[in-house]
Amino acid sequence: MKNILTKISTKLKCNFKEDFINSKEFDNLSKDEKIKILRKSLSKCNNELEKLKKKYADIFLSKLKTRRSIRKFSGKEVPWEIVYNILESAYTAPAAGDIKDYKFIVVRDKEDRVELSKICYQQYWISDAPYIIVVVRDDKHLVELYPNMGKKYSIQNTAAAIENLLLTVHFYDLGACWVEAYNNDAIRDFLEIPNSFYVDAIIPIGYPLENPKKSMPLLRGRIFFDKFGNIYRNKK
């Protein structure tokens, strides 16, 4: 957003020049003339801002709609700076009580990745990704605060973080897959995970070797208005 505002500010200055540089210097104009020029420039600025908003909204929605689970990776190394940004984005997700009780174990060693793929019931394609992110969480704090709902909140918090992670992966034109088929106890032993933590997901990350296509589902019958089952929108 800061970059966008800088562009707008630059555009605004250019508009000033276009509007008065060939006539009088701005400082010598009357108050009414200055207001007129400022309003004209502001109008141009707003139009430019609306165009940029639409452009970036279209890019954002396109990224959302084209994200897919990737199971074929090139093995090409991913810069750690990108992986760090991906993990950082996960922690911007909303969380009940603002308690982010999940942690990420980053597995890079090839032999360890192969071993993890075995633990994931011989899904050997997982080891082709240069990074495997193991997501774990400890819901103790949330359960203490919310005895009846803490476990549910903890799961929701972690799921929101994982979704942020997956979308950021796609933003960088990388691929990932949310893997849930694995031997929980074996992973806990292999990665020396404390007993208080649950293993929630295995997420391989790397450059994709596939581009799976999938049509968007029809939303009719999936969106209701005012009452469950009501598919008709009241146009006011």
* Residue 75 belongs to some domain of the structure: no
* Residue 233 belongs to some domain of the structure: no
* Residue 220 belongs to some domain of the structure: no
* Residue 162 belongs to some domain of the structure: yes
Q: How far apart are the first and last CA of the chain?
A: 34
Same-domain check for residues 97 and 194: yes
At 207, list the tokens.
Answer: 């450059």
**Could you give the CA distance from residue 136 to residue 181 in angstroms, rounded to a whole number?**
15
**Could you give the CA distance from residue 78 to residue 208 in angstroms, rounded to a whole number?**
11
Same-domain check for residues 88 and 122: yes
Which residues in the chain show pLDDT less than 70? 1-27, 56, 236
Q: Which domain holds residue 51?
A: 2-66
Same-domain check for residues 51 and 10: yes
What is the predicted pLDDT for the residue at 2? 43
**Could you give the CA distance from residue 187 to residue 115 in angstroms, rounded to a whole number?**
9
Same-domain check for residues 113 and 9: no
* Residue 225 belongs to some domain of the structure: no
Domains contained in the chain, number: 2
Residue type present at position 67: R
* Residue 18 belongs to some domain of the structure: yes
Same-domain check for residues 120 and 145: yes
Same-domain check for residues 131 and 54: no
Last residue of a domain, which of 37, 66, 95? 66
At 138, list the tokens.
Answer: 């400890």
Same-domain check for residues 150 and 91: yes
What is the predicted pLDDT for the residue at 126? 97
What is the predicted pLDDT for the residue at 50? 76
* Residue 71 belongs to some domain of the structure: no
What is the predicted pLDDT for the residue at 234? 82
The domain that holds 111 is classified in CATH as 3.40.109.10
